[in-house]
């Protein structure tokens, strides 16, 4: 992005820059939404839906039972789903909040700073690179599936503390 560009009207940005700004706003909104969950729901949602841990693994990481983890995740999903269905134009087109309607205000209020993009990236992959990445991802998922099928696998207890420390660092 052109850091010299200080005008907050979106018409001054090229289509690729505008898409980066929209993506920056979308990601920051998603993160803010997660911060609205209480800690136990946020941890369950991150572990269960974002990192895709199994219920028994998530429960072990959080030091709760499998069933308790499943319930925490269910409640967190319900809250996130209700909020996004009601508010987010990406999920429900008739919802009042839409990134393209909010971007100018977000720039003016410095919630999105075109000179300091934090989440979004302008890096674009060629088709060949994308295909290679997809192939690598499929191979990695097969290996992970094979490892997860081993019943004796037990999540290291240190992982729970490390994940908890990371989440706490993000809050402070």
Query: Which residue is listed with tokens 């690179």?
Result: 129
Q: What's the pTM value of the predicted model, to 2 decimals?
A: 0.63
Domain membership flag for residue 5: no
CATH code of the domain covering residue 111? 1.10.10.10
* pLDDT band at residue 131 using 50, 70 and 90 as cut-offs: low
pLDDT > 70: what percent of the chain?
A: 83
Is residue 164 packed enough to be buried (19+ CB in 10 Å), middle (13-18) or exposed (0-12)? middle
Domain span at residue 17 reads 11-124+156-171
Helix (H, G, I), strand (E, B) or coil at 97: strand
Please give, one letter per residue, the 3-state secondary structure of 91-131: CCCCCCECHHHHHHHHHHCCCCCCCCCCCCCCCCCCHHHHH
Query: Which residue is listed with tokens 């992982």?
Result: 159
Token digits of residue 24: 């920056």
Examine the pLDDT at 171 and tell me if it is beyond 90.
no
Domain membership flag for residue 167: yes
Integer Cα distance of 39 and 131 in angstroms? 38
Domain membership flag for residue 22: yes
Mean pLDDT, residues 115-135:
65
Integer Cα distance of 101 and 94 in angstroms? 13
What is the tally of structural domains in the chain?
A: 1
pLDDT > 90: what percent of the chain?
A: 38
Domain membership flag for residue 148: no
- 110: how many CB neighbours lie within 10 A of its CB? 9
Domain membership flag for residue 114: yes
pLDDT at residue 58 in the model: 95
Domain membership flag for residue 6: no
Query: Which residue is listed with tokens 């219920």?
Result: 55
């Amino acid at each position: 992005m052109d850091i010299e560009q200080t005008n907050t009207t979106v018409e001054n940005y090229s289509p690729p820059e505008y898409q980066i700004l929209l993506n920056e706003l979308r990601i920051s909104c998603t993160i803010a939404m997660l911060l609205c969950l209480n800690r136990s729901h946020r941890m369950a949602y991150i572990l269960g839906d974002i990192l895709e841990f199994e219920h028994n693994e998530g429960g072990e990481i959080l030091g709760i039972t499998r069933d308790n983890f499943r319930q925490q995740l269910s409640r967190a999903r319900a809250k996130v789903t209700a909020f996004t269905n009601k508010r987010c134009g990406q999920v429900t087109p008739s919802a009042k909040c839409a990134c393209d309607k909010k971007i100018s205000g977000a720039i003016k209020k410095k919630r999105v700073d075109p000179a300091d993009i934090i989440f979004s990236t302008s890096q674009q992959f060629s088709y060949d690179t994308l295909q290679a990445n997809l192939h690598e991802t499929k191979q990695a998922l097969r290996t992970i599936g094979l490892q997860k099928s081993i019943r004796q696998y037990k999540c290291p207890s240190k992982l729970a503390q490390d994940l908890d420390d990371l989440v706490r660092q993000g809050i402070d």
